[in-house]
Chains A and B, each alone.
Chain A
Amino acid sequence: MCLAVPGKVESIFEADEMTMGTVNFGGVVKEVCLVLLPEIQVGDYAVVHAGFAISRIDEASAEETLRTFQALEHPTDPRS
């Protein structure tokens, strides 16, 4: 459920009394409704679902998660 994709907010503007923005998803730029993320800034990454940004990505947490993965031992044989 809930296909949501991370993208970088490139601009924020008002249209039809609604806060909108352009979000760059790895080279694909789409207009997205930002009204649910009033604190979002240009340059932030947001998770977008069904045309709405629903969550700001916390870069520090992302880095920490990746560091946790890197700290894991190298595999032997998972089934042994």
Chain B
Amino acid sequence: MADDSTSNTPRDHGDKTIEFSGLVCPVPLQDYPNIILGHGGGGKLSADLVQHVFLPAFQNDHLAVLGDSAVFQLAGVQLAGQRLAMSTDSYVVRPLFFPGGSIGDLVVNGTVNDLAMSGATPLYLTAAFILEEGFPIAQLKRIADAMGAAARRAGVAIISGDTKVVERGHGDGCYINTAGVGIVPDGIDIAPNHTRPGDVVILSGTLGDHGMAIMSVREGLEFDAEIRSDSAPLADMVAGIIQVCPDVHTLRDPTRGGLSASLNEIAAASGCGIVIDETRLPIHPTVQSACEILGFDPLLVANEGKLVCMVPAESADAVLNAIRSDKHGSGAAIIGRVVADHPGVVVAKTAIGASRVVVAPIGEQLPRIC
């Protein structure tokens, strides 16, 4: 098989090859005239909304980068080479409390991590609550306490907030939005489109813990398992990475849509191909079991305390060690490579020595029977 591989790449097939770009959603938003749940799933449907509703309406250079946060300088304000990073995220998790955490942990760690993925040191958060009439204040207090504790752990302060109440039946208990700002050190420039062929792909720990912890308490699916959400702040880990590798190319936290969504976004933004080795993916055996039962692909399951990074090959070992020395990175592993071939496409090598294309999720994953 290896012998003829050199002469048989898709490129050599020229016009006999299916035109890949032609397959990607030529007519946007035609499938659903109204919002469906999948539009919030972090997959192709979410990307559609950004591409065809928000980007054209808001168009500016910062947004066009499509990073987890925007990095910019304030006109006329001198910050000694440093730039600001800003990000926002809303949280609609159900249930609000789950093994290993609560929405309170997510709203802090999630926005902290979005900032950290641009190399920023997170500093300040805002919090906005949309509460449903009838929501128990005792629960709100638990959530707020969790937020306060998470903020202290992450070294950020929640400095502004807002509360709105909607009529009973018009919300799902408690929705929270947080926004955050941080400072990006001088000389640090991390973005999805900086990924280069030859880069090594490093994952900071096990896949799918958060998503399956949520599934274990989801109404109608309940199961008992030692699975806890991995929700954690990653700013210290990122600082460690930057220390040993200031030119780290790309950082991403694979939340909704899982590692597959992140890798596909990076492949698309950079115009590179990515090859991962399935046998090297760290997955907790219990998470794997839960995925088997429901028919989920761990590559598509959400994480809340992991990052994937693309680093130059010569820095790979140093970065791996830096991540492993962080308290949230003990399970880190090198999982793949960035390549010049098959631009925009993520390929996984399987355990039996074959390969498959890792597709970005379309919407939400649902339990399968077949």
Contact = CB atoms under 8 A, between A and B. Distances in A.
A26 B370 contact: no
A2 B224 CA distance: 23
A25 B224 CA distance: 10
A24 to B, nearest CB: 9
B370 A28 contact: no
B223 A26 contact: no
A1 interface: yes
Interface string B276-316: 00000000011011101101000000000000000000000
Given A3-B368, A3-B369, A49-B369, A26 B226 contact: no
Interface string A1-31: 1110100000000000000000001111110
A36 interface: no
Nearest to A78: B1
A79 interface: yes
Interface residues of B, number: 19
Contacts, number: 44
B226 A27 contact: yes
A37 interface: no
B55 interface: no
A77 B4 CA distance: 14
Nearest to A50: B369
Q: Which bracket fits the contact residues of A?
A: 10 to 19
Contacts of A26: 285-286, 288-289, 292
B1 A79 contact: yes
Interface string B165-187: 00000000000000000000000
Nearest to B370: A1
B53 interface: no
Given A3-B369, A49-B369, A25 B1 contact: no
A28 B368 contact: no
B225 interface: yes
Interface string B349-370: 0000000000000000000111
Given A3-B368, A79-B1, A28 B295 contact: no
Interface string A47-76: 011100000000000000000000000000
B162 to A, nearest CB: 40
Interface of B: 1, 216, 222-227, 285-286, 288-290, 292-293, 295, 368-370
22 contacts: A2-B369, A2-B370, A3-B369, A3-B370, A5-B292, A5-B293, A25-B290, A25-B293, A26-B286, A26-B288, A26-B289, A26-B292, A27-B285, A27-B289, A28-B216, A28-B223, A28-B286, A28-B289, A30-B222, A49-B369, A50-B369, A79-B1
Interface of A: 1-3, 5, 25-30, 48-50, 77, 79
